Amino acid sequence: MESRRGNPMTTEEEYSDLAATRRIHRLNSHISPIVTTQPATSVVQTENCAAAVAVRTTKKLEVNGQALSLYMKGKHMDIQEKVYEFFNSRPDLQTPIEISKDDHRDLCMRQLYGLVREAGIRPFRYVADDPAKYFAIMEAVGSVDMSLGIKMGVQYSLWGGSVINLGTKKHRDKYFDGIDNLDYTGCFAMTELHHGSNVQGLQTTATFDPIKDEFVIDTPHDGAIKWWIGNAAVHGKFATVFARLILPTHDTKGVSDMGVHAFIVPIRDMKTHQTLPGVEIQDCGHKVGLNGVDNGALRFSSVRIPRDNLLNRFGDVARDGKYTSSLPTINKRFGATLGELVGGRVGLAYASVGVLKISATIAIRYSLLRQQFGPPKQPEVSILDYQSQQHKLMPMLASTYAYHFATVYLVEKYSEMKKTHDEQLVADVHALSAGLKSYVTSYTAKSLSVCREACGGHGYAAVNRFGSLRNDHDIFQTFEGDNTVLLQQVAGDLLKQYKEKFQGGTLTVTWNYLRESMNTYLAQPNPVTARWEGEEHLRDPKFQLDAFRYRTSRLLQSVALRLNKHTKTLGTFGAWNRCLNHLLTLAESHIESVILAKFIEAVQNCSEPSAKAALKLVCDLYALDRIWGDIGTYRNVDYVAPNKAKAIHKLTEYLSFQVRNVAKELVDAFELPDHVTRAPIAMQSDAYAQYTQVVGF
């Protein structure tokens, strides 16, 4: 028989072979597109069954890894290396894959003792005086064991930080050395069973007794039990307890509620470690992650503490019960108190980037090593040569760099704030830390799952760390401020700045761009620039930053109009709730604008040519990937014409391919050695050999 084309019919077996050959050919065209000899600026379409791919003949970028790493690490490389070297030299202090909750807690405490008393690293000395160094230590410690990083943060940033930031000289003199050397292990008792984000709604009370010159700490009902308190279940001897300050009065009420204040409350005997009278401590039990941290619940029944145990920087009670404060209202005192505790958010944002570096390094090193499929009768190819794998991991790598520079900037501003106590800077850091903590931790949480999936079945092995990293990091989205709540704070500040702009007021540092971009937004998009699609234009940082800021300004203008409209019928609270998703999108857009601005600045400040070129490449990918991700917004208002949108998409794919070519150098610049990543599939030599040894071969 012959086919309709007049050719002899193939047998079923021959047909199957031909079909298989065609499938292999198509697969090969995805990963090895035909490269022409046209100039680098041209775009060649290669046809395959999925899509047309933009191809350029560009030489592989040569990256000076040492220069890039030095630029990334900055001035605190030495202290981080000291942390890595100590734990690498102490196998007995390295966390095993399988460990019980109680053993993990014990190990975590021994790790902290080892860091402080054996390695001689004293993080508390840098909390107030050199925050950048403290956060560098925290990043290194968290890479050893995230539970250790959090336990260190509870001891020094929360418990210790509350004493030195909310107290006065008498508190520093009495407690500093004991906190520093771990004699005074402590807790930060803010969260209650019924109140987490709404700190002003806390119900624990501290009633002043003028006869005995003491405060009486009480848990009035079960909803006021302090909950999820780190260091409380096993190791803590003290707690900074946030409670409503109740003072006796001579009016008909009999008492006056002065709002939430902080008090030092001993919870265990210094010698016997037994729970003190009136204090009840329960264990919060096994958690999804961070089981090296002993979270507990605290209930107080008429626990008496000296009047001096009030942390009295922003409000004090005299011997006669008279209250004094330099701040006139409860709200101002509360704001000042929380403002001094913003370091926790700064630390979490910075630490989250550290987690992202580890997970991206593991996934990318594995993707470079792992080979699957390939052209007929040729070697299999690296899975990072697949466009789909590049799409998962290369924008993530670019984002990791972007968040690194943004959080370094945040730490710098926080350090400056601690030195100057400038009110405008305090407000700016408060909003910036809220936004970056929320945005970065949410992104890292999602990326951990992407990295696990990108490593296939091997990513599911506990020894390769994605499970523990994901579980330990997950709570970063909740503590130190729920991410959704924090984004609302950012949106609220943006609306406040929006109002200031139209009233002729000054804008704080982070919002300066709004003055110009709001004016741009109120004008129509330029129909000429909306159609520019050349690579030079799309990779121009001015175009990229203008696009980010235009989107933010558009969102701000539109949500302000919506709030004004709905407030008339729903009231303030109802209008805010009606526009809530819009407000969250606005906050995220603003934070992305800040991140890109700091990334562009970091590129411009890099003096070594090859490192600068590498940073420019990943910065362009970060910017264009974000623009493409929200291309509908730009198309809806004709900010980007259809041909330009298509060019952005093609260029984004091309940049991902270019980043793939230097992916090894880019992750190596994080300087995370094998004993830090601790994932056999990410080892830089003999990865498979080490992996097989883990399972017993």
d(Cα 132, Cα 130) in Å, to the nearest integer?
6
191 annotated as belonging to a binding site for a ligand: yes
d(Cα 319, Cα 208) in Å, to the nearest integer?
10
DSSP 8-state secondary structure symbol assigned to residue 75: G
Q: Which helix (H) or strand (E) holds 243?
A: strand 238-248
**DSSP bridge partners of 40:** none
The alpha helices in 253-379, defined as continuous H runs, are 330-339, 343-369
Query: Radius of gyration (Cα) for the chain, nearest Å?
Result: 29
Q: Please count the residues of the chain.
A: 697
DSSP 8-state secondary structure symbol assigned to residue 275: B
Q: How many CB atoms lie within 10 A of CB 284?
A: 16
| Known active-site residue 480 | yes
| CA distances from residue 460 to 121, 245, 452, 455, 697 in whole angstroms, order as listed | 35, 50, 7, 8, 19
The one catalytic residue among 192, 480, 535, 653? 480
Tokens of 151: 């336990």
End-to-end CA distance of the chain: 57
Half-sphere exposure in the Cβ direction for 91 (13 Å, CA): 0
Contact 27, 381 (CB under 8 A): no
d(Cα 464, Cα 228) in Å, to the nearest integer?
29
* Three-state secondary-structure class, residue 581: helix
d(Cα 121, Cα 148) in Å, to the nearest integer?
14
Q: How many CB atoms lie within 10 A of CB 14?
A: 10
Contact 401, 615 (CB under 8 A): yes
d(Cα 494, Cα 196) in Å, to the nearest integer?
24
Pairing of β 238-248 and β 205-209: parallel
Q: List the one residue out of 530, 537, 527, 535 whose CA is nearest residue 650.
A: 535
Tokens of 541: 């940082």
> Which residue matches tokens 């910065």?
619
| CA distances from residue 256 to 251, 318, 322, 335, 353 in whole angstroms, order as listed | 9, 15, 11, 20, 45
Tokens of 631: 């291309």
d(Cα 344, Cα 341) in Å, to the nearest integer?
6
* Three-state secondary-structure class, residue 360: helix
d(Cα 535, Cα 615) in Å, to the nearest integer?
17
Angle, helix 131-144 to helix 77-88, in steps of 10 degrees: 30
Q: Which helix (H) or strand (E) holds 378?
A: none
Contact 248, 210 (CB under 8 A): yes
Q: List the one residue out of 365, 290, 413, 418 whose CA is nearest residue 680.
A: 365
Catalytic residues: 480
Binding residues, as ranges, are 191, 230
